[in-house]
Amino acid sequence: MWIAWIEFDILLGDVHSLKEKRAVVRPIVAELRRRFDVSAAEVGDQDLHRRARIGAALVSPDRAHAVEVLDAVERLVAARREVDLLSARRRELHSED
Instruction: Return the amino acid letter for 22.
Output: R
Q: Does the pTM exceed 0.95?
A: no
The pLDDT score that the predictor gives to residue 58 is 97
pLDDT given at position 45: 82
pLDDT single digits (tens) 4-61: 999 999 999 889 999 999 999 999 999 999 999 999 999 988 888 899 999 999 999 9
CA distances from 31 to 24, 35, 43, 72, 90 (A): 12, 6, 16, 12, 19
Over the chain, what is the mean pLDDT? Answer: 94
Distance of CA 80 to the CA centre of its chain: 12
- Hey, CA dihedral for 56, 57, 61, 66, is it positive or negative? positive
